[in-house]
Amino acid sequence: MALPRVTINFANGALGAVADLADGVVGLICTAVAVPSTFALNTAYKLTSLDDLTALGITVANNPALYKHVSEFYTEAGTGSGAELWIYGVADTVTLAQMLDSTSATGAQALQAAANGRIRIIVAARKPGTGYTPTTTNGLDSDVYTAITNGQVLAGYCKDTYQAPVLVLIEGRSYTGTAANLTNMRQASNNAVAVLIGDTASDSGNACVGLLAGRIAKIPVQRNIGRVKDGSLAIAAAYIKDKTAEKADTAGIHDKGYVTIRTFTGRTGYFFSDDPTCSLVSDDYSQITARRTVDKAYRVAYDTLLNELLDELPVTAEGTLTPAFAKSLENKVEAAIVNTMTINGNLGNDTTDTADKGVQCFVDYTQNVISTSKVMITLKVKPYGYARYIEVKLGFQTLTA
């Protein structure tokens, strides 16, 4: 028989006091150069500020890519926020796909292991060595598309191995500048992965994923990264290849299912366009908000149910659960979700309806646990709606006699 465990599977197709969870813990895998005695490649380091990076001997001069991503992360997340960021440096020969390869003992697997499953967002960024010429496929370095596939597999690996689901962010490297050439991510099925196109430097070939991770780290799981009320990004300029975001085809990039950077008439500054994952619009987890919300619910439910593993279960003469026990287990799970998510505004419950807790847990007491040794549970959490499109019918009001 298999080792006793709690298994939670994500349901799809449904849309059509508890310790606080660190929802914004980020792990960054990035091209880097070792610093003697202080910073080694293929090693995980935990940061809580830019000063921690400096203490490792990392500077703009010796590690420009890593320093840029980390500095933009803390600028956006907040210099005094104490946001938890794990970094993992790799050689410039390591591809994005290799960084996210769950079969490798290095890269993302080693990073999550070092963090003991705490990481919620894994970011992959690469700065190839001098002389590197990307093989461009459908508007991006072909490495990006392979990394997307690996990132989805990695998310499943983290869920199954560490009971720690993750969101994977990948930089849209070497964007050619023509949105029409991009592979349509809205026809893909990688709902744990998002790709960013755009940078804070002109024609860099990279993307400002550190900035994106910083915005995610400082907002609650249900919050859209492009929410205008949260204010503009902490940057002075944004570019899509060699054009400023104001002049680039951001609508075309967005329509293909990528995260990018935009502006609004009458507002200063730059904003993320939206939060799509690389999946069908009809997928329940087609947005980062949905992915992060359900991932948090997963962690809460796992932690709650783990306490029930191998416990004695009261059963009827037929070997089924007693109704009282089934109801008790439902209440435990719902209470954990309410105390960790609902009261923090993570779920879209109707606050005017006291019966709407934003979560429903159902345990069928007629299931025979004597014969199966399994307790099957259905858990549903309620998402928010989002005002992606606001339409106003505007006209003149005439005077009546």
Render pLDDT for 264-296 as a digit per residue (tens, 0 to 9): 999 999 999 999 999 999 999 999 999 999 999
Residue percentage of the chain with pLDDT more than 90: 89
Confidence grade of residue 207 (pLDDT, cut at 50, 70, 90): very high
Mean pLDDT of 86-101: 98
Q: Where are the domains of the chain?
A: 26-281
Tell me which H or E stretch contains 76: helix 64-77
Provide the β-strand partners of residue 315: 321
Query: What per-residue confidence (pLDDT) applies to 62?
Result: 97
User: Does position 395 have pLDDT exceeding 90, yes or no?
Assistant: no
pLDDT in tens, 131-155: 899 999 999 999 999 999 999 999 9
Phi, psi of 14 (to 5 degrees): -90, -15
* Conformation bin of residue 379: beta by default, left when phi > 0, alpha when psi is -120 to 50: beta
Confidence grade of residue 393 (pLDDT, cut at 50, 70, 90): confident
In this structure, the number of other CB atoms found within 10 A of the CB of residue 75 comes to 16
Query: What per-residue confidence (pLDDT) applies to 388?
Result: 79
CA 183 vs CA 141, 153, 266, 282, 374: distances in Å? 12, 19, 32, 18, 42
Amino acid letter, 88: Y
Query: What per-residue confidence (pLDDT) applies to 340?
Result: 96
Confidence grade of residue 164 (pLDDT, cut at 50, 70, 90): very high
More confident residue, 1 or 329: 329
Query: What per-residue confidence (pLDDT) applies to 12?
Result: 67
Mean pLDDT of 5-20: 58
pLDDT in tens, 15-39: 543 334 589 999 999 999 999 999 9
Mean pLDDT of 69-85: 94
Mean pLDDT of 116-144: 96
CA distance 401 to 198: 57
User: Does position 8 have pLDDT exceeding 90, yes or no?
Assistant: no
User: Does position 6 have pLDDT exceeding 90, yes or no?
Assistant: no
Confidence grade of residue 202 (pLDDT, cut at 50, 70, 90): very high
**Calculated CA dihedral for residues 126, 129, 135, 138, nearest 10 degrees:** 30
Query: What per-residue confidence (pLDDT) applies to 4?
Result: 56
CA 49 vs CA 30, 86, 110, 154, 351: distances in Å? 17, 11, 22, 27, 37
User: Does position 173 have pLDDT exceeding 70, yes or no?
Assistant: yes
Query: What per-residue confidence (pLDDT) applies to 169?
Result: 98
Mean pLDDT of 335-353: 95
pLDDT in tens, 303-320: 999 999 999 999 999 999
Task: Read off the DSSP letter of residue 354.
Answer: T
User: Would the pTM of this model clear 0.75, i.e. be above it?
Assistant: yes
Provide the β-strand partners of residue 121: 26, 167
Query: What per-residue confidence (pLDDT) applies to 22?
Result: 87
In this structure, the number of other CB atoms found within 10 A of the CB of residue 41 comes to 15
Q: What is the mean pLDDT of the chain?
A: 94
Cβ–Cβ < 8 Å for 326, 379 = no
Query: What per-residue confidence (pLDDT) applies to 19?
Result: 39
Cβ–Cβ < 8 Å for 325, 365 = yes
